[in-house]
A and B are shown apart, each in its own frame.
Chain A
Amino acid sequence: MSRALVIQLARLGDLVQSLPAIMALKARGTRCTIDVLCAVPLASLPALFPGVSQVIAWDGSRWRAWAARWASAPETTMSEIETYLRDLVLLPYDRAYNLNQHPRAVLTASLLAERVIGPGETSPLSQTHPPWAAYLRSVAVRRDENRVHLADAFCGLCGVSPLGTAPLIPPPAVDLPHDLAPIGRDEGPWVAVAVGAGETARCISPAVWREWISCFLRESPTGQVVLVGSGSECESARTIQDGLSSILLNRVWDATGRTDLAQLVAILSRCRWMVGADTGPLHLAAAVGARVMGFYFARARVHETGPYGQGHWVWQAEPTRKFEVRGSRFSEEEKRATCERRTSNMEPWWPIAESVELLLTDSCATIPKGWSLWRSGVDHWGAYFTEAGELSAPGSQRERVWRMLQSAESLMELMP
């Protein structure tokens, strides 16, 4: 039986987006054990992924300490690192599937496996990138009309095709804090709200969330809201609650900073919906079977990192340049007003009533200016998103990219 290691050293969202690749790898090689290497704070999550044998927790803080100490004690430091790596991985893996372009991940892959697949596969110092890695780099730089989802590109990096179905993380058997235990038990709908985001630019302001939650709880007399997020987002959660009317407050549950990852998975699996910006918890919710509605703005693009699976919704803020291209649609005044509202993160810009309507009825009568609405699906080319009102899956661009990169992979393999 061969041993493979999937390396994902990025944040929660990327780790969850790696799940389709892990499942595709497992499906291809049933006699292969697959381990996952990720950062220490996320290490409890891949243990819940179907198909993962073992999780290797990569401790960046120890490496930073060694780097600071090396010059004063080089030999001792190197010897400590060797011991650490031996304790981490006794025997080298047959293959490391590296999903990150950062040199740290490239070096980790070279250190822990006989063969590297993905960035760094020819040599750790190589400036030549495998076709899928080069494609992802070009997408990041050019921000063009890419339709291949990041999770599917991870499949491409690993040399496998998407399975055509969404992955599902089973709910773990964990206890919740006593006061959060009733979540999901009473009548709903239960909606989880991700109050923060990894990047400040992707955060939705507490004022907007307050408005959204008020609207939802007014429209859904039995609805319940669960605020989720890390410890650093407790303050935002408190600010949201401070502005809510006391009548609504008893239907708001604050779980920010109070759960570990397994407990977060448990809470999300008890919710029917998850609403938030393009964040890790949003993708996690999609992976545990909740329906997801995302607000994508700043650098977030629905086609690249939308929620993976069937029937999720994404509100995509139209980029400013689109106003310029489609000048006939908006007057100059409208463009300016919209831009100003965006800059100030003011409520009128956000599709609050529309998104609540969508969540409760699965339909939306009007799409406000400055936004487009997308519904997710999955086929044999991976995840796709169709604009509200369109029926067929847009396959041609994804198919073209897959065929082009697969033939490039074949060419690479033929090269000496």
Chain B
Amino acid sequence: MSRLEANLSHLASCDPALAAAIRRSGGGVLGIAEARNGMPTATESGRAVHSAYDPWREGTAWAEAQAATWKPGETAVVFGVGLLYHLEALRRCLPKEARVAVVVPDVCVLHDAFNARPLDEWVRQVEWLWGDCEQMAARLVRFGTPLRFFSYAPAARLHAEAYAQVELAIRTQLARETGGQLHVAVVGPIYGGSLPIARYTASALEQLGHRVTMVDHSPHSTSYEAMANLKDARSRMTMQSRFADLLSQLTLARLAEDPPDLVLALAQAPLTLPILQHFRRKKFLTAMWFVENHRHLTYWQQVAGGYDYWFIIQKGTCEEALRRAGAPHVTYLPLAADPSIHRPIELSESEHAEFGADVSFVGAGYANRRAILPRLVDAEWTFKLWGNEWEGATDLAGVLQRQGARIDTETCVKVFNATRINLNLHSFTGDGLDPQGDFVNPRTFELAACAAFQFVDQRSLLPEVFASEEIAAFRHQDDLPAHIRAWLHEPEARTAMAQAARRRVLNEHTYVHRMRSLLAGIGVAQPDRVGAVLRGEREAGYLSARSAFNTELGSLLSQFPARQRVELKDVAARIRARGPGQTLKREELLLLMLDEYRMESRDLV
């Protein structure tokens, strides 16, 4: 019997379909050579998949490092196939009862592995996941256990895209099922575009049933702006930097009063690297939703390594740049809308008169807008311009509303609802459209949520969030007048498109969707912390059921409502509340002792 057949015979007893698929496949993905120690090693496109000296030792070292992070009850999920040295070693490192699964995007690689080296019984002690990414993800989710992902990078890079898809599918599937109550601290900026997003985020988390502590720095904006008036640039920067440091300390002090499970900062949140490092030392999870253009705001370079999780609205170079700057986990998470704020509304006649127009634009006076918008003035349509920072734009003075005052959200929604064509022009510091325009701004989602027709400049990531039947986009500013003219004559098509866009937002692009996805992503990466809470494993009912053999503990836990999240501090508080004269049982003494040590290690300041 050939080596391949001998190996397949082990596999066939647990997964005959996979064994047959391997037999059918041709292999030939990996180049096989002999390592210095005589064992087979592999390369792919000239790059080493395993050590050229001692692949077994290398695999064992990798496995030992991974096994140290595995916790009982978790399924170890391995990304990267290669010649399976690392998988075999991990199987040996973990206890027999530990479930180990490997994701196989291409059975041809397995063919090479099964052909190259002898494999034995351990093959039966591994779950082999193969086929469609969605199916592999669904199978992993069905395990119903916390998943701990281990990536053997030299082999995983061969199918990086497939692994990313599996991860995304797991996150999406878990996001639909998550429950539990987390305590999330949302840290907002002092001012700016991410400030309302911080509020929408907090609201979405609350709608999902989580407890939110909003650390709102906007009350300090007046002081910050006062410093902006300092004429000397050095003094101004020093003062503002010190002020940001102070607010960072203030955030720490706030969170120390009621420590959260997760600190979620929005772009521009005043959290300095030393404070973030302090959070990490105290084992607090931190995440940043960077809802800004990474090319314009570059301070992320200083804090990339400080946050545990980064969520970004751009892909490609942004992801790579953050990783290079030290960000440990980077995930794409586009913006969204809050349909309780951005929604269709009935307007009075006077409101229609005030806010209505054939064409409107709401936004600040960036250079590209100053260059493009004058083309829309003095045309056959009415045009209104809303927003601030339009000083010096004399050619737009006739259409500028409220003398360029800042427009609040409520007014924005009225303008969106009252306008036939809402122009959505992403900001850019050049004259025309941003040639690198990738991310989709919040305005796109907000207009869509209002069922307001919009005409947006094309962005490379727009097709991922809206279809061409849902949102109209233009590629060249020169085409803008002609398009507007055409759309003004298509009222029914405008309405149909706007309604379709709203449906898409409600189905996929609300902040609730985003927060579900964000938490599921962190939950997958932190199966024993955030993941456990989201799976409901910190609820009294679950804990009580798991404490069946410890009657004293079970009895203590049964005093809480089954769906209530219960932490050590809650149980300890219940015991202490019984008063000083009470005789305590042994379990109660132990719980109080644990709580004393918990308080010591959670002392943030």
Q: Mark A104-124, 1 if CB is under 8 A from B, else 0.
A: 100110110000000000011
User: Given the known A-B contacts A71-B568, A74-B546, are A125 and B580 also in contact in the complex, defined by CB atoms under 8 Å?
Assistant: yes
Q: Mark B547-576, 1 if CB is under 8 A from A, else 0.
A: 111100100010000000011100000001
User: Given the known A-B contacts A75-B550, A123-B580, A125-B576, are A70 and B594 also in contact in the complex, defined by CB atoms under 8 Å?
Assistant: yes
Q: Give Cα A251 to B549, complex, Å.
A: 66
Cβ-closest chain A residue relative to B556 = A74
User: Given the known A-B contacts A64-B600, A67-B601, A125-B576, are A107 and B592 also in contact in the complex, defined by CB atoms under 8 Å?
Assistant: yes
Contact residues, B563-605 vs A (CB, 8 A): 566-568, 576, 578-584, 586-587, 589-590, 592-598, 600-601
Q: Which residues of A contact B586 (CB under 8 A)?
A: 111
Of the candidates A75, A107, A111, A126, which one forms a contact with B546 in the assembled complex, judged by CB atoms under 8 Å apart?
A75
Q: Give Cα A71 to B567, complex, Å.
A: 6
Among A73, A103, A125, A126, find the residue whose CB has the most chain B CB atoms closer than 10 A: A125
Q: Give Cα A68 to B567, complex, Å.
A: 10
Q: How many A-B residue pairs have CB under 8 A?
A: 93
Q: Which residues of A contact B547 (CB under 8 A)?
A: 74-75
Question: Interface size of B by Cβ–Cβ distance < 8 Å?
Answer: 41
Of the candidates A60, A107, A126, which one forms a contact with B589 in the assembled complex, judged by CB atoms under 8 Å apart?
A107
B584 and A110 contacting across the interface, CB-CB below 8 Å:
yes
B553 and A67 contacting across the interface, CB-CB below 8 Å:
no
Q: Give Cα A67 to B583, complex, Å.
A: 23
Q: Which residues of B contact A200 (CB under 8 A)?
A: none
User: Is A361 an interface position by the 8 A CB rule?
Assistant: no
User: Is B543 an interface position by the 8 A CB rule?
Assistant: yes
Cβ-closest chain A residue relative to B601 = A64
Cβ-closest chain A residue relative to B71 = A72
Least CB distance, B537 to chain A, in whole angstroms: 7
Least CB distance, B558 to chain A, in whole angstroms: 13
B283 and A68 contacting across the interface, CB-CB below 8 Å:
yes
Q: Which residues of A contact B215 (CB under 8 A)?
A: none
Q: Give Cα A78 to B557, complex, Å.
A: 14
Q: Which residues of B contact A108 (CB under 8 A)?
A: 593
Among A64, A67, A73, find the residue whose CB has the most chain B CB atoms closer than 10 A: A67
Cβ-closest chain A residue relative to B527 = A72
Q: Give Cα A125 to B538, complex, Å.
A: 27
Q: Give Cα A75 to B566, complex, Å.
A: 14
Cβ-closest chain B residue relative to A85 = B590
User: Is A66 an interface position by the 8 A CB rule?
Assistant: yes
A123 and B568 contacting across the interface, CB-CB below 8 Å:
no
A63 and B594 contacting across the interface, CB-CB below 8 Å:
yes
Cβ-closest chain B residue relative to A107 = B593
User: Is A410 an interface position by the 8 A CB rule?
Assistant: no
Q: Mark A178-210, 1 if CB is under 8 A from B, else 0.
A: 000000000000000000000000000000000
B590 and A78 contacting across the interface, CB-CB below 8 Å:
yes
Q: Give Cα A382 to B516, complex, Å.
A: 67
Interface of A, secondary structure class, is helix
User: Is A127 an interface position by the 8 A CB rule?
Assistant: yes
A123 and B597 contacting across the interface, CB-CB below 8 Å:
no
B597 and A104 contacting across the interface, CB-CB below 8 Å:
yes
Q: Which residues of B contact A110 (CB under 8 A)?
A: 584, 589
B584 and A78 contacting across the interface, CB-CB below 8 Å:
no
Of the candidates A64, A74, A76, A126, which one forms a contact with B597 in the assembled complex, judged by CB atoms under 8 Å apart?
A64
User: Is A81 an interface position by the 8 A CB rule?
Assistant: yes
Least CB distance, A325 to chain B, in whole angstroms: 36
User: Is B528 an interface position by the 8 A CB rule?
Assistant: yes
User: Is A79 an interface position by the 8 A CB rule?
Assistant: yes
Cβ-closest chain A residue relative to B548 = A75
Q: Give Cα A107 to B587, complex, Å.
A: 11
Q: Give Cα A67 to B283, complex, Å.
A: 13
B589 and A123 contacting across the interface, CB-CB below 8 Å:
no
Q: Which residues of A contact B262 (CB under 8 A)?
A: none
User: Given the known A-B contacts A63-B593, A64-B601, A74-B546, are A125 and B532 also in contact in the complex, defined by CB atoms under 8 Å?
Assistant: no
Of the candidates B532, B578, B580, B584, which one forms a contact with A72 in the assembled complex, judged by CB atoms under 8 Å apart?
B532
A74 and B592 contacting across the interface, CB-CB below 8 Å:
no
Least CB distance, B292 to chain A, in whole angstroms: 35
Least CB distance, B424 to chain A, in whole angstroms: 46
Q: Which residues of A contact B537 (CB under 8 A)?
A: 72
User: Given the known A-B contacts A110-B584, A111-B590, are A67 and B595 also in contact in the complex, defined by CB atoms under 8 Å?
Assistant: yes
Q: Give Cα A124 to B583, complex, Å.
A: 8
A81 and B590 contacting across the interface, CB-CB below 8 Å:
yes
Q: Which residues of B contact A123 (CB under 8 A)?
A: 580-584
Q: Give Cα A60 to B586, complex, Å.
A: 19
Q: Which residues of A contact B596 (CB under 8 A)?
A: 103-104, 107
Q: Give Cα A78 to B568, complex, Å.
A: 12
Of the candidates B546, B550, B597, which one forms a contact with A67 in the assembled complex, judged by CB atoms under 8 Å apart?
B597
Q: Give Cα A126 to B579, complex, Å.
A: 8
Q: Give Cα A126 to B580, complex, Å.
A: 4
A75 and B549 contacting across the interface, CB-CB below 8 Å:
yes
A67 and B594 contacting across the interface, CB-CB below 8 Å:
yes
Cβ-closest chain B residue relative to A77 = B594
Q: Which residues of A contact B549 (CB under 8 A)?
A: 75
Q: Give Cα A8 to B586, complex, Å.
A: 21
Q: Give Cα A60 to B596, complex, Å.
A: 11
Least CB distance, A95 to chain B, in whole angstroms: 17
Q: Which residues of B contact A111 (CB under 8 A)?
A: 586, 589-590, 593
Least CB distance, B147 to chain A, in whole angstroms: 15
Least CB distance, A74 to chain B, in whole angstroms: 6
B538 and A78 contacting across the interface, CB-CB below 8 Å:
no
Cβ-closest chain B residue relative to A63 = B597
Q: Which residues of A contact B581 (CB under 8 A)?
A: 123, 125-126
Q: Give Cα A72 to B576, complex, Å.
A: 22
Q: Which residues of B contact A73 (CB under 8 A)?
A: 72-73, 546
Of the candidates B72, B580, B597, B600, which one forms a contact with A66 in the assembled complex, judged by CB atoms under 8 Å apart?
B597
Q: Mark A52-74, 1 if CB is under 8 A from B, else 0.
A: 00000000100110111011111
Q: Which residues of B contact A60 (CB under 8 A)?
A: 597
User: Given the known A-B contacts A110-B589, A127-B580, are A75 and B553 also in contact in the complex, defined by CB atoms under 8 Å?
Assistant: yes
Q: Which residues of A contact B598 (CB under 8 A)?
A: 64, 67-68, 70
Contact residues, B301-360 vs A (CB, 8 A): none
Least CB distance, B201 to chain A, in whole angstroms: 25
Least CB distance, B183 to chain A, in whole angstroms: 13
Q: Which residues of A contact B583 (CB under 8 A)?
A: 123
Cβ-closest chain A residue relative to B579 = A125
Q: Which residues of B contact A82 (CB under 8 A)?
A: 590
Q: Give Cα A64 to B597, complex, Å.
A: 5
Of the candidates A66, A72, A76, A103, which one forms a contact with B592 in the assembled complex, judged by CB atoms under 8 Å apart?
A103
B553 and A74 contacting across the interface, CB-CB below 8 Å:
yes
Contact residues, A123-150 vs B (CB, 8 A): 123-128
Q: Which residues of B contact A127 (CB under 8 A)?
A: 580
Q: Give Cα A230 to B596, complex, Å.
A: 27
Q: Give Cα A123 to B581, complex, Å.
A: 6
Q: Give Cα A79 to B583, complex, Å.
A: 22
Least CB distance, B601 to chain A, in whole angstroms: 5
Q: Give Cα A130 to B586, complex, Å.
A: 23
Contact residues, A69-101 vs B (CB, 8 A): 70-79, 81-82
Least CB distance, A389 to chain B, in whole angstroms: 47
Least CB distance, B525 to chain A, in whole angstroms: 15
Cβ-closest chain A residue relative to B588 = A124
Q: Give Cα A82 to B593, complex, Å.
A: 13
Cβ-closest chain A residue relative to B547 = A75
Least CB distance, A71 to chain B, in whole angstroms: 6
What are 23 of the A-B contact pairs (CB < 8 Å)?
A: A64-B598, A64-B601, A66-B594, A67-B568, A68-B598, A70-B594, A70-B598, A71-B538, A72-B529, A73-B546, A74-B546, A76-B72, A78-B553, A78-B590, A79-B550, A104-B596, A104-B597, A111-B593, A123-B581, A124-B592, A125-B584, A126-B581, A128-B580
Known pairs A64-B601, A78-B550, A125-B581. 13 more at Cβ < 8 A?
A: A63-B597, A64-B598, A68-B598, A68-B601, A72-B71, A75-B553, A78-B587, A104-B596, A107-B593, A110-B589, A111-B593, A123-B582, A124-B584
> Taking beta carbons and an 8 Å cutoff, which residues of B are in contact with A?
71-73, 283, 528-529, 532, 537-538, 543, 546-550, 553, 557, 566-568, 576, 578-584, 586-587, 589-590, 592-598, 600-601
